[in-house]
A and B are shown apart, each in its own frame.
Chain A
Amino acid sequence: MTLRSPVLLVALQEWRYVCRQRLLLWLFGLLLVTVAIALLQSWQQARQLSEQQQAMQQIVDQQWQQQPDRHPHRVAHFGTFAFRQPSALGFFDPGVDPQVGNSLFLEAHRQNPANFSAAGQASSLSRLGQFSPAFVLQVVLPLFLMLLAAAAVLREREQLTGRLLLAQGLAGWQLRLGKVLAYAGLACLMVALVQLQVLLVQVVTIGVSTELLVSLFGLWLGYCLALLACIALAVWLADGCRDTRQALLLLTALWLALVVVMPRVMPFWLQPERLDSRVLFDAGVKAELRAMGDSHNPGDPAFGRFREQVLERYGVARVEDLPVNYGGLLMQEGERLSSEVFERHYARLQAQRTAQEQRLHWTALINPLLALQQFSMALSGTDPAAFRDFEQQAEAYRYELIQQLNHLHTHQIAFENDRGQRVSQAHWQAMPMFVHQPEQLAQLWMRSALPLAVLLLWCLLLGVLCYRGGRR
């Protein structure tokens, strides 16, 4: 597009108009200040959470290390905590993090749910929703830009300048796309200024990495595409509206539907079967575990077949004659089986969740702001998948830790007088503590690719609609 391009000329003219409207400039300034406040508050919360977690991690590590010489299975039941490392961009878009919790208690025989969620610990008022830069960009800015873009189209019509422009030989699509370009440019600038604020906070606090810069660029791109879609939608609708009042009503209703109603209603509509609640999930797992038998009891008939296999493998007739502690072996087997039960139930729950999330992804096809929400959470590492990754890392660590302790039980504790014996604390002091590894950028991009493609599709579709024009 050259400087002589009519589309660019219309856009430049609109920018000139905006720059000469003091009220609009104040509004833009106010929006930036609002984002800055949201950013500071969100960053403050993230910092507090991080500090609390570090302090808790130290206490938990100390408690683990300071356990005296004791029976390994007591250590397994003493347990420890796995803390989720906050995402670097969690303060920009907290996503589902405030709801899902940040720590898991790890112990033998059971997989506990996450706890200490920010929402759960917050006062009743702050549970209404976290104020974050992403909230402002996803909820407030689209409305603001949609109304401005629609007003720009209707102003040309109602003040009759549009008619005079068309009479000079400007095509209708050039006028519409010029307006879209003008406000898309403003949207890009606004998002860039917000990303700059985020970058500044990162520079001052933890420093900047290439990954962070790539993520920020990705977020800028995604938000620009979504806002471009909103602006094009507003221009196209305004072009077909009778007057400003009709456009204002239509756009406000549309904003309510896209931003307020659909994101809250869709998950319920798209849930043909309700997800198992945690209580139901636990009850299902417990019922199977009860039927499986008690691995604490070497004489439990439910493990009779296992005992026979062990005796046969070692070529002895009695468990007392085994060179290793049968109780420890039973614990290992019990842990393996209980993990299998849990994994099976967990996989079923995950399949339900994944199916629901996939259906939600499809809804992005009818709402670009849902695509933006999914994209932003995914790239910020605060979507449900990022939390599941933490759960899976923690479970893998828990299983490995408990089996190591069961191994100690098997080899360091004699079968006779099992519960009266202890092993040195040096064993668990040497065991590595859990360290959450946040997902790699490539994984985040893989999850963001689909909503980003949907946003691109929306922009293309609305670009074509704007090119073709409304009814008037």
Chain B
Amino acid sequence: MSDRVESGPALQAQALCQRFAGQAILNGLSFEVEPGEALCLLGHNGVGKTTTLNHFLGFHQPLSGFVRVMGLCPQQQPLQVRRLIGYVPEDAALYAHLNALENIDYFLAAGGQPRPALEQLLVWLEQVGFPLEAARRPAAGYSKGMRQKVVLALALAKQAKVLLLDEPTTGLDPRSADELAQQILDLKSQGVAVLAVTHDLLWAHQVADHLGIMQAGRLQDLIAREHLQPHELADRLFRASGRLVVEEPAI
């Protein structure tokens, strides 16, 4: 496969299968995300959402099927692929003894990205709503939301073509979650493809173009956002997990 970034979907999973300890985790998962689109994967715990992200990052080798990022295979060209990806993990980890600027600078340099000027770093931090007065304080004192903003600023600094978010709103207050959603929408408008896995249905409904409900390692439903209200989404999700649906009381 060439190093050239090919045209086509930004993210593609095709008949992806994976087993861990004899148990099927992914079982023929297929979907595509175009540039400037966002797909949120929903589903109960252990359904294979994070494992899917790990395949796009090249951390796992598929048992069968494949994944592509901008046409590149993460398993064969992991370093090239990772340089295209902005990744926001569930627990955005930073080096506690470094400040926000130093953290971004180090992560960029270690990944072989050009090191931006300090002023530019401050612009990116400001763009993601990070309080600039904290930019020179060690990250040991940052809240989870602040750490996530730093990691998001890192994705901006990388000029990532693809954004992967793993449970991004866990532990965030509603205001921070809303700010994060606005930033994702901004990135989408710049042509960034977004793949998020989350349990936060409202947030997913806010940012996604498509919502994918996973069950038993495959995509059971792929629904366009405009065709579904959040409470309907919850209903679908409960049905998918085989739980009793509680009727919403009439107002």
Where the two chains meet, the residues of A that have a C-beta atom closer than 8 Å to any C-beta of B are: 4, 6, 9-10, 13, 16-17, 20, 159-161, 163-171, 174
Docked complex Cα distance between A383 and B110 (Å) = 46
Partner of B94, one of A9, A161, A163, A169: A161
Nearest chain-B residue to A178 (Cβ)? B110
**What is the total of A-B residue contacts with beta carbons within 8 Å?**
68
Beyond the given A160-B91, A168-B108, A171-B79, please list 12 additional residue pairs across the A-B interface where CB-CB is below 8 A.
A4-B109, A6-B110, A9-B110, A13-B95, A159-B93, A161-B93, A164-B107, A166-B57, A168-B87, A168-B111, A168-B113, A170-B111
**Which residues of chain A are near B108, meaning CB under 8 Å?**
168
- Most chain B C-beta atoms within 10 Å of own C-beta, residue among A6, A10, A17, A169: A169
Docked complex Cα distance between A20 and B83 (Å) = 30
Docked complex Cα distance between A4 and B107 (Å) = 12
Would you give the shortest CB distance from A32 to chain B, in whole angstroms?
23
**Which residues of chain B are near A165, meaning CB under 8 Å?**
107, 110-111
Would you give the shortest CB distance from B230 to chain A, in whole angstroms?
30
Tell me the B11-64 residues at the A interface (CB within 8 Å): 57, 59
Would you give the shortest CB distance from B51 to chain A, in whole angstroms?
14
**Which residues of chain B are near A4, meaning CB under 8 Å?**
109
Would you give the shortest CB distance from B78 to chain A, in whole angstroms?
8
Cβ B87 vs Cβ A167 within 8 A: yes
- 22 A-B pairs within 8 Å (CB atoms) are namely A6-B109, A9-B106, A9-B109, A9-B110, A13-B95, A16-B98, A160-B89, A163-B89, A164-B87, A164-B89, A164-B93, A164-B107, A164-B151, A165-B110, A165-B111, A166-B57, A166-B82, A167-B85, A169-B79, A169-B82, A169-B83, A169-B111
Docked complex Cα distance between A168 and B92 (Å) = 13
Would you give the shortest CB distance from A215 to chain B, in whole angstroms?
40
Docked complex Cα distance between A160 and B112 (Å) = 20
- Most chain B C-beta atoms within 10 Å of own C-beta, residue among A10, A166, A167: A167
Nearest chain-A residue to B93 (Cβ)? A160
B205 interface hit (Cβ, 8 Å): no
**Which residues of chain B are near A20, meaning CB under 8 Å?**
97
In the complex where A167-B82, A167-B85 touch, is A17 in contact with B95 (Cβ < 8 A)? yes
Cβ A168 vs Cβ B110 within 8 A: yes
Docked complex Cα distance between A230 and B91 (Å) = 33
**Which residues of chain A are near B79, meaning CB under 8 Å?**
169-171
Would you give the shortest CB distance from A4 to chain B, in whole angstroms?
7
**Which residues of chain B are near A160, meaning CB under 8 Å?**
89, 91, 93
Partner of A168, one of B83, B93, B96, B98: B83
User: Which 4 A-B pairs rank lowest in CB-CB distance, beginning with the nearest?
Assistant: A168-B111, A160-B93, A169-B111, A167-B87
Cβ B89 vs Cβ A168 within 8 A: no
Docked complex Cα distance between A13 and B103 (Å) = 10
Would you give the shortest CB distance from B169 to chain A, in whole angstroms?
18
Docked complex Cα distance between A4 and B109 (Å) = 7
Cβ B110 vs Cβ A170 within 8 A: yes
Docked complex Cα distance between A79 and B57 (Å) = 82
Cβ A17 vs Cβ B97 within 8 A: yes
Nearest chain-A residue to B83 (Cβ)? A169
Docked complex Cα distance between A9 and B112 (Å) = 10
B158 interface hit (Cβ, 8 Å): yes
Cβ A163 vs Cβ B93 within 8 A: yes
**Which residues of chain A are near B113, meaning CB under 8 Å?**
168-169
Docked complex Cα distance between A169 and B154 (Å) = 13
Would you give the shortest CB distance from A465 to chain B, in whole angstroms?
20
Docked complex Cα distance between A166 and B57 (Å) = 9
Cβ A167 vs Cβ B93 within 8 A: no
**Which residues of chain A are near B110, meaning CB under 8 Å?**
6, 9-10, 13, 165, 168, 170, 174
Would you give the shortest CB distance from A112 to chain B, in whole angstroms?
64
Partner of B82, one of A13, A17, A161, A168: A168
Docked complex Cα distance between A171 and B108 (Å) = 13
Cβ B57 vs Cβ A167 within 8 A: yes
Docked complex Cα distance between A160 and B106 (Å) = 15
In the complex where A160-B91, A167-B85, A167-B87 touch, is A13 in contact with B111 (Cβ < 8 A)? no
Would you give the shortest CB distance from B76 to chain A, in whole angstroms?
14
Q: Can you list, as one digit per residue, whether each of B63-87 has a CB less than 8 Å from chain A (1) or not (0)?
A: 0000000000000001110110101
Cβ B106 vs Cβ A13 within 8 A: yes
